[in-house]
C-alpha cells in the first residue's frame, strides 16, 4: 500500500472505535443491577444483545425487506426485548422510559482510549468517514458524547446498504468523490476488511482483544492479505505519518 | 419559539454560512484574470455561475429525471461551461485541469467571519446539520478547509431530495431522530425558511447583505412569520443562550 494515495479512512465503528461490550454491560448493570436489583452476567447480556443484530442476518434481511435500510435504533428495541426475555427479565420490570434508555445505550458507548487521540491526528491529513450499521442519530449522539471527529457519517441509513454488501462500501467511496483505492477501511473484524478489499479498498486491521472478552479466534490477528495491521489508532496515525 | 425545545440547527450553506460570491469571483479572477489575462466583471461572473444552478429549476428537474439527486459537482461542470460561453471565454482557454479547478471553486468557499465562531458556540448545545444542495464531497472539502463544525451532512445527495421539496427537510429531521418542531432551519433566504416552516420546522433568518452584492429586495430582511431574525451567527448564539 502507498499511504500517499490514501485520501480517506472509512471506519467500522462498533468494536473498532468504541467499546460496545463495556458500554452495554455498564448501562445494563446500572439499570437492571442497581435500580432493579437483578444479578446477571452483564458481559453475556451485552454479547447477547449485540449478537441479535447479526442473527438470521437481520440487518441484511431487514434491509432487503424494506429496500432502504432499517434503523439500528429500531432493530435495537426488538433486540433488547428478546435479550431481556432470554435472560428471564419479566417484561414489566422496566418502565417505557427505562426501556428506551437501555435500548439507546448504543448512543452512549465510550471510545477506546486511543481512538480520539489517534483519529484527531489522522484527521489532519485524511478525511474520516463512519461506514457503520448505526443510524445517523445514533452515530451523531455517540460522536458528540465521545468527541469522535468525523468528517462524514456514511452509514447504512445514508448509503441504503448494510455491510458486507459491496454497495455499502462503494456508495460511501462514491459519495466522497474518490476511487476505492484512495480509501483505507479500518476495522477490528477480518470479515469487514475482506468485503472492503473485494471492492478495491485498502485495509487496516486494528487489534481489539477486549472487544467481546471471549476467544475471538477469527479476529485475534489480521488475516493474510490485509494491507496494514496495527495495535491501536495512535499506532495507525504513526504508521500513516500523521 | 421556545429555544428549550430546539435540539438541532439545520443549516442552509451557500450564502448563509459561506460567501459563494466572493469565493467564486476570487478564483475566477485568479485563473481567468491572472494567468489568462482576461478582464471580466468577476462579481457578475460569480452570480451568473450561481444562477445557472437555479435556471429551469435544474437541480429539481435533474433530481426528478434521475430519481436520486444529481450531484452539485456534476451540475457545476455544466454550469461553468455555459457561464464561460456566456462571458465569451473561448472553450480552449482553460486546460482540463484548470477547468476542473474552477468548477470545484465551490469546495473552497470561505465562511463568513462570524460563521465558525458562532457555530462553535452553538454546537456546544445543539446538533448542527448541513441541509444543502451541495454534495457530500463538496461539503466535506469546504468544512475541512474552513473549519465548519458539522455534526452531520444531510444534503440532497443523502436525503435524495432538493430543497424546497418538503422531503428534503423532513428526511433530514427524521434521520436526526427528531420532530420538525425540534429543528431550527437557519438561512439567509426567505423562500428556504418558508418551505421549512411549512414542514413544521422553526426558522431563523440571518441577514447577509453582501451575499450577492445586488439589491436583494426579497432577502433584505426577514419575511413575516420567521421565528428569529439575527444579524450574524454570533448573534444567533447569543439569542439561543450559547
Subunit contact B136:A175, Cβ cutoff 8 A: yes
CB < 8 Å to B67, chain A: none
Per-residue confidence (pLDDT) for residue A221, from 0 to 100: 86
- In chain A, what residues touch B73 (CB-CB under 8 Å)? 177
Residue A173 pLDDT class (50, 70, 90 cuts):
very high
Q: Of the given ranges (A54-63, A143-152, B110-119, B193-202), which has the lowest mean pLDDT?
A: A54-63
Q: How far is B221 from chain A (nearest CA, A)?
A: 33
Query: Per the CB < 8 Å rule, is A177 touching B137?
Result: yes
CB pair distance less than 8 Å for A127 and B140: yes
Contact A151 B140 (CB under 8 A): yes
| CATH for A20-108, options being 3.30.1490, 3.40.1350, 1.20.1050, 1.10.150 | 1.10.150
Q: What is the mean predicted confidence (pLDDT) over B64-80? A: 75
Residue B219: pLDDT band (50, 70, 90) is confident
- Give Cα separations from B76 to A98, A204, B95, B106 (angstroms): 50, 35, 17, 9
Q: What is the pLDDT of residue A152?
A: 98
Q: Which three cell numbers stand for residue A73?
A: 435504533
Show residues of chain B in contact with A178, CB under 8 Å: 137
In contact, B51 and B93? CB cutoff 8 Å: no
For residue A66, give the 3-state DSSP assignment. Answer: helix
B77 Cβ under 8 Å from any chain A Cβ: no
Q: Is the pLDDT of residue A68 over 60?
A: no
- Indicate the fold that domain A3-19+109-239 takes in CATH: Rossmann fold (3.40.50)
B137 touches chain A (CB under 8 A): yes
Question: Which residues of chain A have a CB within 8 Å of the CB of B127?
Answer: 140, 144
For chain B, the DSSP string reads --GGG--EEEE--BTTTB-HHHHHHHHHIIIIIIIT-----HHHHHHHHHHHTTGGGHHHHHHHHHSSPPPHHHHHHHHHHHHHHHTT--TTSS-HHHHHHHHTGGGGPPBPTTHHHHHHHHHTTSEEEE-SSS-HHHHHHHHHHHT---SEE--HHHHS--TTSHHHHHHHHHHTT--GGGEEEEES-HHHHHHHHHTT-EEEEE--TTSSSS--TTTSSPPTT-SEEESSHHHHHHHTT-
Q: How close does chain A come to B133, measured CA to CA in Å?
A: 14
Q: Quick check: B140 and A152 CB within 8 A? A: yes
* Confidence band, pLDDT 50/70/90 cuts, at residue A3: confident
**How many contacts, defined by CB atoms under 8 Å, are there between A and B?**
48
Cα within 13 Å of Cα(B174), Cβ side? 14
Judge whether A229 and A204 are in contact, CB under 8 Å.
yes
List every span in chain A annotated with CATH 3.40.50.1000.
Answer: 3-19+109-239
Does any CB of chain A come closer than 8 Å to the CB of residue B143? yes
pTM above 0.90, yes or no: yes
Question: Best mutation site among B8, B152, B173 for testing chain A: the one with the most A CBs within 10 Å?
Answer: B152
CATH 3.40.50.1000 maps onto chain B at 3-19+110-239
* Cβ within 8 Å, pair B144-A127: yes
Average pLDDT over residues A228-235: 97
pLDDT for the residue numbered A67: 46
The predicted structure's pLDDT at residue A220: 82
pLDDT in tens, A73-111: 988 999 999 999 999 999 899 999 999 999 999 999 999
Lowest mean pLDDT among A34-48, A145-159, B66-80, B90-104: B66-80
B130 at interface of A, judged by CB pairs closer than 8 A: no
A212 touches chain B (CB under 8 A): no
Q: Do A140 and B151 touch (CB under 8 A)?
A: yes
Instruction: Say yes or no to pLDDT of B95 above 90.
Output: yes
Strand partners, A83: none
**CATH architecture of structural domain B3-19+110-239:** 3-Layer(aba) Sandwich (3.40)
Cell numbers that stand for A72 in this block? 439500528
Residue A232 distance to chain B (closest CA, Å):
24
Contacts of B153 in chain A (CB under 8 A): 152-153
- For residue range B3-29, what is the model confidence (pLDDT) as tens digits? 789 999 999 999 999 999 999 999 999
* Interface with A, mutate which of B177, B178, B182 (most A CBs under 10 A): B177
Tell whether the model's pLDDT for residue A66 goes beyond 80: no
- The verdict on B154 touching A (C-beta cutoff 8 Å) is yes
Q: State how far the alpha carbon of B44 is from the alpha carbons of B25, B39, B94, B204, in Å.
A: 8, 12, 19, 28
User: Does A70 reach chain B within 8 Å, measured CB to CB?
Assistant: no
B137 chain-A contacts, CB cut-off 8 A: 175-178
B154 and A136: CB-CB below 8 Å?
yes
Percent of chain B residues past pLDDT 90, beyond the cut: 78
Domain(s) labelled CATH 1.10.150 in chain A stretch across 20-108
- Shortest CA distance from B125: residue in chain A: A144
ipTM for the assembly: 0.92
Residues from chain B that touch A143, judged by Cβ atoms under 8 A, are 151
Amino acid at each position: 500500500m502507498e499511504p500517499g494515495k490514501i485520501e480517506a479512512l472509512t471506519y467500522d465503528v462498533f468494536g473498532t472505535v468504541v467499546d460496545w461490550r463495556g458500554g452495554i454491560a455498564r448501562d445494563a448493570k446500572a439499570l437492571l443491577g442497581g435500580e432493579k436489583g437483578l444479578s446477571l452476567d452483564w458481559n453475556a447480556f451485552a454479547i447477547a444483545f449485540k449478537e441479535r443484530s447479526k442473527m438470521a442476518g437481520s440487518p441484511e434481511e431487514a434491509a432487503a425487506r424494506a429496500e432502504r435500510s432499517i434503523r439500528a435504533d429500531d432493530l435495537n428495541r426488538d433486540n433488547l426485548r428478546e435479550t431481556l426475555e432470554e435472560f428471564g427479565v419479566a417484561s414489566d420490570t422496566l418502565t417505557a422510559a427505562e426501556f428506551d434508555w437501555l435500548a439507546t445505550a448504543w448512543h452512549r458507548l465510550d471510545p477506546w482510549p486511543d481512538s480520539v487521540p489517534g483519529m484527531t491526528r489522522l484527521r489532519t491529513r485524511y478525511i474520516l468517514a463512519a461506514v457503520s450499521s448505526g443510524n445517523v442519530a445514533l452515530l451523531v449522539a455517540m460522536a458528540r458524547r465521545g468527541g469522535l471527529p468525523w468528517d462524514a457519517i456514511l452509514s447504512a441509513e445514508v448509503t441504503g446498504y448494510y455491510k458486507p454488501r459491496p454497495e455499502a462500501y462503494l456508495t460511501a467511496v462514491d459519495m466522497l468523490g474518490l476511487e476505492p483505492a484512495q480509501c483505507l477501511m479500518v476495522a477490528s473484524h477480518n470479515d469487514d476488511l475482506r468485503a472492503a478489499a473485494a471492492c478495491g479498498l485498502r485495509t487496516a486491521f486494528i487489534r481489539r482483544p477486549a472487544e467481546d472478552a471471549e476467544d475471538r479466534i477469527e479476529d485475534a490477528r489480521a488475516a493474510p492479505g490485509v494491507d496494514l495491521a496495527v495495535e491501536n489508532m495512535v499506532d495507525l496515525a504513526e504508521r500513516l505519518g500523521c
